Structure 1
Amino acid sequence: MPRPTWDNLDADRRERVLHAAMAEFGRHGYSGGSLNVIAREAGVAKGSLFQYFDDKFDFFAHVAEQASLGIYAVMQPYLEKADTPFLEHFTGLVEVWIDYMHTHPLERGITAATTMELDPQVRTAVREPVHRLYAQGLRPLLEQAQRDGELAADADIDALLSLLILLLPHLALAPFEPGLDSALALHGTNAATRRRNAHRLVTTLFAGAAA
């Protein structure tokens, strides 16, 4: 958690630090991210960062949390059950998700940093709150589809949720980073092809749970 000095920082300076941290951690991850670079890009002294946070890990965890909350706020309206059929609604949600990641490279970088962090303690600490947000947004949508008869009564919601927590970070990254999906053409293609192949993944995931 940030120290009170962080909350007392003026909004513009706090935003500069967050922006610089997202860029650096997004490029190099937690282990490779440099506090010297973050401080220089933000226009603050490196020592100031330790007035705001206990250590590098505390700083990284806060940056990851803020990025996740920002993404969740954008996606939340699309997590509400719509009048359209569930599968159509969910594939539309995935389109919005991919388009958002396309136009928000900083958030995409932090998604990569939290998803692919090598240190198991750091990975666990930053991914658990992110996964809780996924569950918070997706579980009600799945349960409502089940109540509406669009998913089978015996569909395993927990298993579907687990698979979606694997799929969505993949779809956030694979269209924009080479080498993450060798089976489907997600990277190096146009938006229509990306969407079509993302739909194939979503359709296949839900095929066994359809009513």
Structure 2
Amino acid sequence: MPSSTFLNLPTPKKDRIIHALVTEFSHHPLADAQVAPIVKEAAIARGAFYKYFTDLNDAYHFVYQLAIQTIHRAIPAPPVAHSAATYTNFTRSFLEQAVASEYFLFIKNHLLFNEQNVSTSVPLDFDAKTWAAATLSHAALREAIATSDSATQALILTRLNIALKHLFSGED
């Protein structure tokens, strides 16, 4: 996570750095990202980058958390009851918010190239149905974000809903 020095920067400078990070991580997988374009776009010294972040992985995790929090903030909390409709609607809402977000290309790049490098696993204390529903929803989200065709996205969400209905109608 960023240093307190970064967190205490004036908002315009902090926003400029965040924008540069989002730009770099939206256009390059984490393995190919570089500090040089970030510091150039943000108009900061290379040493300042390392004063704010431990390394590129640290900066990436910061942007990932920021993007996820921003997207989730716009989505109403799902009801406690677990159902196919609950998971499908939440996945649809996340997709819509992600597509409309300034972080869309970042999220798309994350799901397609970087996800395996960032720990975002489903908590181990989930029961089997919750784990399966979360895993199916995440896979559908990854597929839907990978395409820009809204008709294909709708088909993916329909398929998710059908699979979840089977999951929740089955015996434990």
Whose relative contact order is higher, 1 or 2, with alpha carbons under 8 Å and at least 6 apart?
A: 2
State the superposition RMSD in angstroms: 3.0
Determine whether 1:98 maps to 2:57.
no
Within a 5 Å distance, the mapping from 1:120-159 to structure 2 comes to: 123=117, 126-128=118-120, 131=121, 158-159=127-128
- Give me the whole-angstrom Cα distance separating, in 2, the residues matched to 1:169 and 1:22: 22
Instruction: Identify the residue that residue 7 of structure 2 maps to in structure 1.
Output: 7
* Distance in 2 separating the partners of 1:169 and 1:108: 17
Contact kept? 1:22, 1:63, Cα under 8 Å:
yes
* Distance in 1 separating the partners of 2:15 and 2:154: 33
Counterpart residue type for residue 7 of structure 1: L
Q: Mind listing any 5+ residue stretches in structure 1 that lack a counterpart? A: 140-156, 178-186
- Counting matched residue pairs gives 169
**SS of match in other structure, 2:169:** coil
Structure 2 residue runs without a partner (length 5+): none
- Describe the superposition over 1:69-98 as per-residue Cα deviations: whole angstroms up to 9, x where unpaired: 2223223x142358xx94334332222122
| Greater than 4 Å deviation, 4+ residue runs | none
Deviation at 1:188, TM superposition (A): 5.4
The 5-angstrom pairing of residues 1-211 of structure 1 reads 1-75=1-75, 77-81=76-80, 86-104=83-101, 106-110=103-107, 112-113=109-110, 116-117=113-114, 123=117, 126-128=118-120, 131=121, 158-177=127-146, 187=147, 189=149, 191-210=150-169
Deviation at 1:10, TM superposition (A): 1.0
Match of 1:151 in 2: none
**Cα offset, 1:56, TM superposition:** 2.0
- Taking only the aligned residue pairs, the percentage that are identical comes to 21
TM-score of the pair, normalised by structure 2: 0.77
Q: What SS does the corresponding residue of 1:208 show, helix, strand or coil? A: helix
Residues 113-146 of structure 1: CA deviation (Å, up to 9, x unaligned):
266338x7xx2xx324xx46xx6xxx9xxxxxxx
Give the AA of the match of 1:73: R
CA gap 1:53/1:195 in 2 versus in 1, 3 angstroms:
same
Shift of 1:204: 0.9
| Structure 1 length-normalised TM | 0.65
- Alignment check: 8 A CA contact 2:85 2:161 kept: no
CA contact (8 A) 1:79 1:93 kept: yes
Separation of aligned partners in 2, 1:165 and 1:117: 19
